[in-house]
Chain A
Amino acid sequence: MKSETYKITNAVVEDIITETSNIKTFVLKPDKGLEFKTGQFVELAVKGLGEAPFTPSSDPGISEKIDMTIMKVGLVTDAMHNMKKGEILGIRGPYGQGYPIDDFKGKRVCVIGGGVGLAPLRSLLYELMHDLSRFEKVSLYYGAKTPKDIVYKNYVKKLQQEKELDLFLTVDQADDSWTGNVGVVTTILEDLNPENSIACVCGPPIMMKFSTLKLLEIGFKEEDIYLSMEKNMSCGVGKCGHCRIGNYYACKDGPVFTYAQIKNFDEIWD
């Protein structure tokens, strides 16, 4: 038995990187190293206020420092955005099942992200890029509202120079600086080859829904579409009930599910 369920570990905010107008990356140094598999999530706590679930965006090979990329959308995240370097957050986890990397071996891995949904996918990309020879191909398809809303601008620039990885970017609304594709993410998925491919999708619910429908339309199998689901994961360990999706709990059985696993349950996109 893992004693003292729900107890947190202190984590120092070592650095704060402003990604966009409402997204920041917090570099955390937990008191105890926190080993996680890419796709697993943690609960982050603000003292006296509350907790919320987030998926690390850093390299799963590094347990001493963990990056958490957080959009300002509610009580807990508002407080986080007001924090300064050196302050303390609480952390517990990791929870849930990560991406089944071994199942991706020898395949074309299509990583598809929208907005802040690139956070868990960046952690996945770090993991994949530990040894790209394991896969036939790794490609990233990423969409943001505007060029300013692209997260990890330096990292994305680095990826653009990476010969072994194909990168496709799009924005819903361009500005003068933008020379790339304009349109929602699904507009850059048209030419995907479903042959021997799997897709990992993460983003806002509406983006996940239409990306999944597009992938199915171009021939992806339901069991080859991996979705990182956002639900109200509160306890993190399958007890509190909030994040149930049909027969599963997002916290213990997910948050990564194949579309085949959850397609019959209503309410998955809401």
Chain B
Amino acid sequence: MFTSKLILKSDFVDILDCLNQGYALFYAQKSGQDYNISKAGDLSNIELPQFRASEPIKSFLLPAKEDFDLVEERPIAVFGLKGCDLSSLAVLDYVYLEGDYKDSYYAKRRESMFIFSSDCTDFKESCFCTSLGYKPYPKEGFDLNLIKLSEDEYVLEIGTDKGNMFLKNNNLSFKNINSEKQKKIQDIRDAIAAKVQENADKYLPASLKDKLSQAVRENYDSQIWQDEASRCVECGACTVVCGSCHCFFLITKENSFDKLRSWDSCLLRSYALVAGGANPRSHLYERLRNRFIKKFDFFPKVLNTFGCTGCGRCVNACIGNIDIREILSNLIKEKVKS
């Protein structure tokens, strides 16, 4: 269990003010129907974001275009990350920190970043974390997490020593919550989880979770891939907005051996192409299928988790209306049929 403190709206603005002193603070700000995470400006009107922002957490750990030689002056703090963002850390950490080689650039950011997350209080139509066994509130991976009890009352969960030390160093002390509030938190969380699931189940029922890997594996030759790929324009937006997609390519800088790193997309034809011309996935449908194999077969096998946290960003980003929930649900139906 985390240490949980009862705080007021004004306290939470104070916390952000302090973060803004020591860190380059980014936070989720309302923009139309969505939230975008941008650099902190005036913090007085800050609201707890209702659901995940358009940017995934990887944007801050692996910048879309990264110059390895540039040193960031201040570590980053992000407010407004959600459960789906923190769930994707399992995948990113596995890729970038495990094995014989750590990625030194990711490791440095991961270590220094301050993560201030919050529970979802609402959802986007595309949200489906519950279909994959996740909850619309963070369970781990945050330094601080914020839960809204009412318009003025919030609960602050302290997830790490880093979070604790930050509060101490800034003389921010709050009283512990009592068991009555603890119960209220659980009720609020159960209610939002039920609400998200009720919506997500319309697309991909949570009860099918354990059949997903098998459905992807066993429908390798299904017509579904070609049908779905017919609407794909190969823009790569799904992989750009995905919190778990981690692929990149290295660019050699002009007149030097120094490098830049930029996100890559397995949907693009050039992705696995080698200089001799061989390409293991020369057809678009093979590349679309490959994305599902990576997320629902590869990661369950090597890490025992999906390479997808149900944030639904790819559903919103796709201009061809390709819907990951629909594909998964159709694959399950297809398997049952055959």
Contacts and interface: CB of A to CB of B under 8 A. Distances in A.
| A interacts with B | yes
Interface stretch (A33-41, A49-57, A60-68, A174-182): A49-57
A240 B264 contact: yes
A84 interface: no
A235 interface: yes
A4 interface: yes
A247 B95 CA distance: 13
Contacts of A239: 95-96, 101, 103, 246, 248
B281 A50 contact: no
A1 B102 contact: yes
B256 A48 contact: yes
B108 to A, nearest CB: 10
B271 interface: yes
Contacts of B101: 2, 5, 237-239
Interface string B260-294: 00001010000111111111111000100000001
A115 to B, nearest CB: 10
B10 interface: no
A62 to B, nearest CB: 24
Contacts of A90: 257
For chain B, which range describes its interface: under 10, 10 to 19, 20 to 34, or 35 or more residues? 35 or more
A216 interface: no
B97 to A, nearest CB: 9
Given A239-B96, A240-B264, A73 B257 contact: no
A211 interface: no
Contacts of B271: 232, 242
A5 B272 contact: no
Nearest to A238: B99
A50 B251 contact: yes
Given A47-B257, A77-B275, A240-B248, A1 B107 contact: yes
B104 A1 contact: yes
Interface in B266-325: 266, 271-282, 286, 294, 298, 301-302
Nearest to A116: B276
Contact of B250 (A74, A76, A234): A234
Contacts of A46: 252
B100 interface: yes
A2 B250 contact: no
Contacts of B105: 5
A48 B68 CA distance: 15
Contacts of B251: 50
B168 interface: no
A201 to B, nearest CB: 16
Interface in A207-235: 230-232, 234-235
B275 A235 contact: no
Contact of A237 (B100, B254, B256, B280): B100
Contact of B252 (A3, A45, A230): A45
B248 A2 contact: no
Contacts of A243: 272
A102 interface: no
Contacts of A230: 274, 276, 278
Nearest to B282: A270
A205 B279 CA distance: 11
Nearest to B276: A73
B2 interface: no
Nearest to A72: B275
Contact of B298 (A6, A204, A247): A247
Interface string B49-85: 0000000000000000000100000000000000000
B279 A270 contact: yes
B250 A51 contact: yes
Interface in A230-261: 230-232, 234-235, 237-244, 246-247, 252
B99 A8 contact: no
Given A5-B102, A6-B259, A238-B101, A244 B276 contact: no
Interface of B: 68, 95-96, 99-105, 107, 220, 246-257, 259, 264, 266, 271-282, 286, 294, 298, 301-302
Interface of A: 1-6, 8, 10, 45-52, 71, 73-77, 90, 204-205, 230-232, 234-235, 237-244, 246-247, 252, 266-268, 270
Given A48-B256, A238-B95, A244-B294, 20 more contacts: A1-B104, A10-B257, A47-B257, A48-B252, A51-B250, A51-B252, A71-B276, A74-B275, A237-B103, A241-B264, A241-B266, A242-B272, A244-B298, A246-B298, A247-B298, A252-B99, A266-B220, A267-B286, A270-B278, A270-B282
29 contacts: A2-B101, A2-B102, A2-B104, A4-B104, A47-B252, A47-B257, A48-B252, A48-B254, A48-B256, A49-B252, A73-B275, A73-B276, A76-B275, A77-B275, A231-B274, A232-B271, A232-B273, A234-B250, A238-B99, A239-B96, A239-B101, A239-B248, A240-B250, A241-B248, A241-B294, A242-B247, A243-B272, A246-B298, A267-B286
